[in-house]
Amino acid sequence: TMPSIFSYQSAEVDWCEGNFERSAVIAEYYNTVNGTTLFSLLLFTPLNFLVLEGAGMGNLSLLLAGIFSMYFHMTLSYMGQILDELSILWALAVAYSFWYPRVYFPRFIKTRKHFFWLSGVTTVISTLMSFIKPAFNAYALNCIAFHLLYLTRRELKKCNDKRVHRMAAVMVVWWVLAITSWLSDRWLCGLWQAINFPYFHSFWHVLIAMALLYCCPLVIYFDVNYEMPSFKPKLGYWPSDSWPVVVPYVTLEEPHKQC
């Protein structure tokens, strides 16, 4: 008989970390703990979205992604895997729907409302297709990052603000470290198990959260330039620029001057 979709270890994916080595109820202990870290770091990102339309949906999507990541690594269940991957898909769908710059809309899309429909239909189709081969979903979701990096590069060409370029560079560094950790865990698991260090996927959780902490202010910065032209966005760091660990944020100033 087919195992229940909620059963422990019924997922198609099993990461490199050994299962139930440190807890009888948590399958991947460090992946789950660092999933909690991911959730904690994502709590900072809603603060940046307060100035944006669709902030509530964006905040909810990010928080659900953190919660479902913890659930998946705790159980390694099929349902956990699906929820983990679909929460990321829908978080990206919300981000694209509300904050994708109008200047990059396809020619046949005339309004934001039309773009909502396009994004919604695409997301529903992608959701249904994700059940065909769930193990492939994570690779497809990671590939979306290349489109986001391409958009960032195009926006940076229009901007001479050194702070913006610096924040984008830091974001890319965190993302490169994150994707390197993710791929290392998938492709070099035998090596890491041989040296008793199979924890690179847990690093991924923290590193991708750090990348998002820098990505979100950039999204806000570019969105304000397009949608709130009467304001001038300015990037900052809390509690101070000089601190080694900071939370980036955006302030709005008047009058607006072109970046």
Binding residues for Ca(2+): 14-15, 17, 19, 28
Separation CA 27–CA 144 (nearest Å): 29
Task: Give the annotated binding-site residues for Zn(2+).
Answer: 73, 201, 205
CA angle, 132 as apex, 128 and 133 as ends, to 5°? 125
For residue 238, the cross-strand partners are 247
Separation CA 204–CA 84 (nearest Å): 14
Half-sphere exposure of 8 (CA within 13 A, CB side): 9
CA 34 to chain centre: 15
Separation CA 57–CA 91 (nearest Å): 8
Separation CA 44–CA 39 (nearest Å): 9
Say whether 26 sits in a helix, a strand or coil. Answer: coil
Task: Give the annotated binding-site residues.
Answer: 14-15, 17, 19, 28, 73, 201, 205
Q: Are 76 and 8 in contact (CB under 8 A)?
A: yes
